[in-house]
Structure 1
Amino acid sequence: MNKEKSQALTAVYITTSLGMGGAEEILAKLANGLTELGDRIVIFSLSGDGYHGERLRRRGIEVYSVGAERTNFSSAFIWVVELIRLFFAIKRLRPGLIHSWMYPADIVGGVIGVMLRVPVIWGVFSGSTDRRFYSRRTHNFIKVCARLSHYLPALIISCSSYGRDTHISVGYRESRFLYIPTGFTRSLKENISKLDSKRTTLSVTADTMLVVGMLGRYTVEKDHVALVRAAGSINQTSERVYLVFAGGEGITNHNDEFVKEIEHAGMISSTTLLGQIADKDAFFQAIDVFALISHSEGFPTVIGEAMSHGLPCIVSDAGDAEILVGDQSQIIKMESGSITEKIAERILEFSNNQQLRKEIGLRNRQRIEALFSEKLMIRRYRKAYMHVVKKK
């Protein structure tokens, strides 16, 4: 520990967002962990405080918003002014390195780093680079970053081996990449009262229904509907499955498209849409099985979080899901056969065998602790940082 503190560094993070996404969660974990080691962490967000901003400040981390209250990306002049202010703010800090988070921030951080002669690290958190899964603007950012990756960053850290490969395939410089998987931690104390309260709120009886939860926004790459249809096919004969969906955009009763799918599957009385949630621990404690059905992922953080809570999983083979789970019995192959039928089969297996759920859940927790701990992730990042700083 003393050795770590004697080599303390000042690291500046420039992030596109501080919302509730997986990339932002990694940033929060890393900032907290490095601060505990004695490093000075300063975060500049291009889109306001989001979910993590004030929480990070309470941990003693400096967090600043860049123009978020005054404008948006459409106002070019004001953003030029704000970026000039950002340049001088970082110059005054004299950081050892700049680590940018997500595509727009990669461009901003890369240019500022070159101007200040400060080494820049980019962060890649996406899986697929397929145009179908991005807005036109974001996909254009990817193409620009691919070209600039040959000149601006000293290192590109990807949390996903799949994401590393897909970005290299669209032109990112291969020799710059380093793969560091996400790390996880959890409280060892189970909050049983919170679990009971949540089940009561959902009108679920633990003895009669299997609660399957999915955490993620309603987007084109996620397949919430396949899970709904699978559960609906089971409940046609007996009401055995209860679904709980949580996440950001689209996971509310105001999403007419999703609600119609739930009604059509006959699951309207056996489904709860929680929307955005602040307490993910309570969510994981309230379910029996975690599901993530997706056509595209990088390193699916929510799977690791579910595993760290001792939950069995039903997840698609997108991104690094198979690396995380390491168990084919929990994987759904998306490219072969009926996805809905496969999901239903896995749900029935878990529904009929409580002991199986416990055994797989325990193995999942042990796997996370052994291979994907948060402490190990922080050590890997810091080792990479010190290597880049020493090469400067």
Structure 2
Amino acid sequence: MRRPCDMSKLEKVLAFPRDTERSPLPSCMSTHCCASADYVREWQMPTPMPEYSPTVLHVITGLANAGAENFLLRLIKATSSLLGRQPVVRLRTVDDLDAAYGAAGVDVIALGLDRLAEAPAAITRLAHIIEECRPRMVFGWMYHGSLAASLAARQVASVSRPQVTWNIRHGLQVGAAQSLTRRLAIRALPFMAGPPDVLTFNSARAAEAHGRLGYRARVTQVIPNGVDVHNFKPDAAAASRLSALFRERAPYFAGQGPIIGHVARVDPLKDHATAIKVFRHIAEARPDARFMFIGAGTDRAEFCQRLLLAGIRERTAVLGERRDIQALMPGLDLLLLTSRSEAFPNVLAEAMSCGVACVSTDAGEAEAILGDVGMLAKLGDARNLGAHVLALLAEPSDQAAARREAARCRAVRLLSFDHAVDRFVQIVIGAGVRPA
């Protein structure tokens, strides 16, 4: 029988005082980190935390409002009834989703690792957390979370050492477009940390690409992201809402044509430059067409200047980062994805689940997601992307309706989040890890 965490030992590891008087900050932790960690301690680490030994302990770089972090929260909520409570250790002080995790009853432990010099102390603290909590599996998310999970597990006595799983969520299609630190982390991980017990990817293409770089494990599996088909669904009223929002954000454009959307944060890998070229080409052929950019950074002045120089600013609504994508997506007439590198492009699955036609670059699992209900072009091929968009916009209404229905059916049948949940549970239990 596994013993529960010892609260006094755990607090020494995390440097959290038990009473209201603060203890001196350890040199490896910044004041900001401890302030953030105190928030997590107060709101997301209630006293029951030390009283259970989790089946799975997750380790992730931070809790930014991004794809992997939101996917992890959904996964924990969906599997808690079977696998029990699954605490999350975040390495950095990025805490955008701390409140969301806390509201879901997920315990979050913050290590405050924001500088490389702090890494050895943070890994040691993580090792102590593993020793005290005795999880059956440590699940590392992405490169840095996986590295930390493996290095910390190595320091744990063999009698209580958990199985280690890596979850890699990167496509590796355009190495030159990635930062130097990211490229180094990708190359170094399998050699610095050694093979994990289980290696998971969110796309088959990513698994193949990483295999060529030396990523190996006793068990390798694919856990596709999946989409919440009950949340992302067709909505007849969405088109009028989106048109009203467009008029609010682009009041000087009189056209009432189709709205083509691009949903992605501003990042070189998302290739907004190609999207702008595509929209400019469409505007020449369809003077009534309307465009919409959604994603962090799209509402910044420098991005709007790029639209102005391309001659499409007047007909383009920029919404920035949104938390209501599921309410906006069904109102689009078409979704365009121009990414140069993806693993599993969630936005395609979400759009299809809403019954929206899609045109995409051949990034990651885009072809497998779209099947025959969408259209593909090569990376950076603005001309063919534009031609595909115009072809779909020109479809007769009955054919367009059939395509929308087929997209929805494909999403429900093949891309549902329920499939990802089943695969995750199978991996945990199949690796010999039994629920607490």
Same fold (TM over 0.5): yes
**Offset at 1:389?**
3.1
Q: Give me the identity figure in percent.
A: 23
3-state secondary structure, aligned to 1:181: coil
Secondary structure of 1:121's aligned partner: strand
Q: Secondary structure of 1:37's match? A: helix
1:138 aligns with 2:182: yes
Q: CA deviation at 1:191?
A: 5.5
1:215 aligns with 2:258: no
Q: Report the Cα offset of residue 275 of structure 1.
A: 1.4
Post-superposition offset of 1:60: 1.4
Correspondence 1:325 to 2:370: yes
Matched residue, 2:130: 90
Structure showing greater Rg = 2
Runs of 5+ consecutive residues of structure 2 not aligned to the other structure = 1-52
The residue number in structure 1 matching 2:298 is 251
Match of 2:216 in 1: 173
Q: Which amino acid aligns with 1:311?
A: V
| Deviation string, structure 1 residues 266-297 (Cα, Å, up to 9, x no partner) | 21111122111111112313311111112211
- Does the 8 Å CA contact 1:35/1:61 hold for their aligned counterparts? no
Aligned: 1:61 with 2:106 = yes
Write the deviation string for residues 74-132 of structure 1: whole angstroms up to 9, x where unpaired: 4x14x444433332223221111000001111111011223331100001100016431
Residue from 8, 17, 22 that aligns with 2:67: 22
1:355/1:229 CA distance change after superposition, 3 Å: farther
CA distance in 2, matches of 1:312, 1:206: 24
Find the partner of 1:373 among 388, 395, 416: 416
Partner deviation per Cα, 1:219-270 (whole Å, 9 max, x = no partner):
222222222222222323542221111122x32232x2x4343223321111
- Offset at residue 365 of structure 1 (A): 1.5
Could you say which residue in structure 2 is the equivalent of 1:347?
389
User: For 2:269, what is the secondary structure of its paired residue?
Assistant: coil
Within a 5 Å distance, the mapping from 1:1-80 to structure 2 comes to 10-48=55-93, 50-67=95-112, 72-74=114-116, 76-77=117-118, 79-80=119-120
CA distance, structure 2, for counterparts of residue 221 and residue 144 of structure 1: 21
Find the aligned partners of 1:47 and 1:306 in 2 and give their Cα distance: 32
1:325-350 CA-to-partner distances (Å, cap 9, x unmatched) read 11275112338xxx222122222223
State the distance in 2 between where 1:174 and 1:88 align.
Answer: 25
Letter in 2 for 1:236: E
Structure 1 moving runs of 4+ over 4 Å:
188-195, 204-207
Residue 153 of structure 1 aligns to a residue in which SS? coil
TM-score (norm 1): 0.86
User: What is the SS of the residue equivalent to 2:162?
Assistant: coil
1:107 corresponds to which of 147, 162, 168:
147
Is the Cα–Cα contact under 8 Å of residues 172 and 206 in structure 2 kept in the other structure?
yes
1:240 aligned partner? 288
Higher deviation after alignment, 105-114 or 18-27: 18-27
Question: Which residue, out of 189, 196, 215, partners 2:240?
Answer: 196
Supply the AA of the counterpart residue of 1:133: A
Listed as ranges, the gaps of 5+ residues in structure 1 are: 1-7
Q: Mean alpha-carbon deviation: is it higher for 41-50 or for 153-162?
A: 41-50
2:358–2:374 Cα contact (<8 Å) kept: no
Report the alpha carbon displacement of residue 62 of structure 1 after superposing the two structures with TM: 1.2
Partners of 2:173 and 2:192 in 1: how far apart? 16
Do the aligned partners of residues 389 and 225 (structure 1) sit closer, same or farther apart at CA in structure 2, a change above 3 Å counting? same
Q: CA separation of 1:320/1:177 partners in 2, compared to 1, >3 Å: closer, same or farther?
A: same
CA distance in 2, matches of 1:315, 1:186: 20
Mapped contact 1:186–1:308 kept (Cα < 8 A): yes
Q: Which residue is equivalent to 2:32?
A: none
- 3-state SS of 1:41 partner: coil
1:3 corresponding residue in structure 2: none
Aligned-residue Cα RMSD (Å) equals: 2.6
Give SS of 1:236's match: helix
How many residues align? The count is 372
Give the partner amino acid of 2:270: K
How far apart are 1:305 and its partner, in Å?
Answer: 1.3
